[in-house]
């Protein structure tokens, strides 16, 4: 294992102008996209497949495989997913704000590899500054002849459109994103038949890739497959951006190889807990992931396989750390509230279930809980995610509903006494005021 980084190098070396075209080109930018215009599609797809690059949006599916599934009818589209909204994640914001050209170059290479002549970057509406940066980067790339008709002097045409979302987490789900891009409500489509690779944007074959994934692509060409694979280990090649937040001394984005332990990540990389408080629990991979606790998981390696075996996931790499002062009922309520607010409302188990879970958690927190509430929550959860196993057996079109079940399952498993204490003794012992807000 080594500590080399790739996708955050430029922004750390040149903090004042890493986002400009001049700096990007001065540091080797657009060399690989230019090269790709002279390469065959099959070679590019095979290269990325061989690199072992897994999608960085949360599902960790092989990017090369995804590309090879693209159905033959043309036109085909590429959609770059910059709708990052999961609580705990802020890595794509950094990549868009600080190194937008890197992601644009990755998108150009991806488009060439998939015979795509019109690509879209979908950015969440709340990301005003990152979207401005990306828009500027795209305009500069057009100006330099790297986008538009005959890119890099070749006979390949590529249009790249920046599209702004308007505040809906669910649009990060690829089929919902496609609906949103078409100007519809951002509701996920049923798979089958709407696999994006076959029936995606405007019912045409479509590739949907994450910003961080795109940022990796130029480096795979630049470094070659062997060097890229050597950065990571085994099945988790390359580096991974962890967003660490919550009760740690040094929150932030860290580009790391897989294979550290959680103890390394929380106490070494992120500097440990402020005021030397005790670690109570943490969310290992974004708000959707079941929680980990120090007595069981602290020395587990941070890899997709080990995290999966332990009943959770690395997902989008967002680590949210909670110290001993945290009320887990309130924390769970906050995570569930998010999913209740963001539920698109198509599927009954999710639309109704998330709202009920939120209301029950809030009444436990405020001292109105009943002894039966824990069982009611688990029953509601079971209707969304049958058997409460991991990975979830969902009763819904997309994984949003089961995501809301994760915190409930976690606190029921590890903090049962704390929930019962809330119920028996009139609410949260740490309650500093009324539970702030109702759902929107």
List the x/- string, 16-55, binding to other proteins by CB under 8 A. Answer: xxxx------------------------------------
| Of residues 158 and 302, the one with the C-beta less far from other proteins | 158
Residues 242-271 that bind other proteins (CB under 8 A): 243-247, 251-253
| Of residues 38 and 367, the one with the C-beta less far from other proteins | 367
Q: Is 10 in the site for other proteins (CB under 8 A)?
A: no
| Of residues 127 and 240, the one with the C-beta less far from other proteins | 127
Q: Is 185 in the site for other proteins (CB under 8 A)?
A: yes
Inter-residue contact 345 to 338 (CB < 8 Å): no
26 Cβ contact list (under 8 Å, min separation 6): none
Cβ count near 1 (within 10 Å): 12
Supply the minimum distance, in Å, between the C-beta of residue 233 and other proteins. Answer: 26
| Of residues 21 and 318, the one with the C-beta less far from other proteins | 318
Binding region for other proteins (CB under 8 A) out of 191-199, 296-304, 341-349, 414-422: 341-349
Residue 368, judged by CB atoms within 10 A of its CB (0-12, 13-18, 19+), counts as middle
| 293-to-98, 247, 290 alpha-carbon distances in Å | 34, 14, 10
CA geometry: angle at 173 spanning 167 and 178, to 5°? Answer: 80
164 Cβ contact list (under 8 Å, min separation 6): 123, 124, 125, 131
| 47-to-39, 119, 211, 351, 409 alpha-carbon distances in Å | 11, 21, 19, 42, 41
List the x/- string, 210-249, binding to other proteins by CB under 8 A. Answer: ---------------------------------xxxxx--
Q: Is 168 in the site for other proteins (CB under 8 A)?
A: yes
- Given candidates 38, 73, 75, 389, which one binds other proteins under the rule CB under 8 A? 75
Q: Is 97 in the site for other proteins (CB under 8 A)?
A: yes
Q: Is 349 in the site for other proteins (CB under 8 A)?
A: no
- Given candidates 137, 287, 329, 404, which one binds other proteins under the rule CB under 8 A? 287
Residues 127-156 that bind other proteins (CB under 8 A): 127-129, 131-132, 135, 138
Inter-residue contact 112 to 67 (CB < 8 Å): no
Q: Is 318 in the site for other proteins (CB under 8 A)?
A: yes
Total number of residues binding other proteins (CB under 8 A)? 75
Strand order from edge to edge, sheet including 279-283: 252-256, 240-246, 318-323, 279-283
| Of residues 62 and 135, the one with the C-beta less far from other proteins | 135
371 Cβ contact list (under 8 Å, min separation 6): 420, 423, 424
Binding region for other proteins (CB under 8 A) out of 40-48, 120-128, 365-373, 387-395: 120-128
Q: Is 357 in the site for other proteins (CB under 8 A)?
A: no
Check residue 432 and report its DSSP letter.
Answer: -
What 3-state DSSP class applies to 323?
A: strand
Inter-residue contact 137 to 63 (CB < 8 Å): no
- Given candidates 344, 347, 361, 408, which one binds other proteins under the rule CB under 8 A? 344
């Amino acid at each position: 294992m080594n500590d080399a980084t790739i996708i955050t190098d430029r922004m750390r070396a040149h903090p004042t102008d890493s986002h400009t075209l001049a700096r990007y080109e001065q540091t080797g930018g657009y060399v690989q996209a230019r090269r790709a215009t002279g390469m065959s599609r099959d070679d590019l797809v095979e290269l990325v497949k061989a690199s072992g690059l897994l999608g960085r949006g949360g599902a960790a599916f092989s990017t090369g495989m995804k590309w090879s599934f693209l159905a033959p009818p043309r036109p085909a589209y590429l959609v770059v997913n910059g709708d990052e909204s999961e609580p705990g994640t802020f890595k794509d914001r950094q990549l868009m704000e600080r190194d937008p050209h890197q992601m644009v170059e990755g998108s150009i290479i991806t488009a060439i590899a998939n015979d795509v002549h019109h690509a879209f970057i979908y950015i969440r509406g709340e990301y005003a500054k990152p979207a401005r940066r990306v828009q500027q980067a795209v305009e500069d790339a057009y100006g330099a002849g790297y986008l538009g008709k005959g890119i890099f002097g070749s006979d390949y045409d590529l249009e790249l459109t920046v599209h702004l979302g308007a505040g809906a987490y669910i649009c990060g789900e690829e089929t919902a994103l496609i609906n949103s891009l078409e100007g519809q409500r951002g509701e996920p489509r049923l798979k089958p038949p709407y696999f994006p690779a076959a029936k995606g944007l405007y019912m045409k074959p479509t590739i949907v890739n994450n910003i961080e994934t795109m940022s990796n692509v130029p480096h795979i060409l630049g470094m070659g497959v062997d060097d890229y694979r050597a950065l990571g280990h085994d099945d988790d090649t390359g580096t991974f951006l962890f967003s660490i937040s919550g009760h740690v001394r040094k929150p932030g984005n860290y580009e790391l190889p897989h294979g550290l332990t959680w103890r390394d990540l929380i106490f070494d990389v992120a500097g440990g807990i402020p005021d030397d408080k005790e670690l109570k629990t943490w969310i290992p991979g974004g708000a959707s992931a079941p929680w980990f606790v120090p007595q069981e998981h602290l020395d587990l390696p941070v890899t997709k396989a080990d995290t999966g075996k332990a009943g959770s996931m690395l997902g989008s790499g967002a680590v949210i750390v909670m110290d001993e002062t945290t009320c887990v009922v309130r924390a769970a309520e906050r995570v569930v509230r998010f999913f209740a607010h963001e539920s698109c409302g198509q599927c009954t188990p999710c639309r109704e279930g998330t709202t009920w879970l939120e209301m029950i958690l809030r009444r436990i927190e405020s001292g109105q809980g009943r002894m039966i509430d824990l069982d009611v929550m688990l029953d509601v959860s079971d209707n969304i995610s049958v058997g409460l196993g991991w990975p979830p057996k969902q009763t819904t079109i997309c994984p949003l509903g089961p995501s809301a079940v994760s915190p409930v399952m976690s606190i029921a498993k590890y903090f049962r006494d704390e929930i019962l204490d809330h119920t028996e003794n009139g609410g949260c012992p740490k309650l500093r005021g009324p539970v702030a807000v109702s759902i929107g």
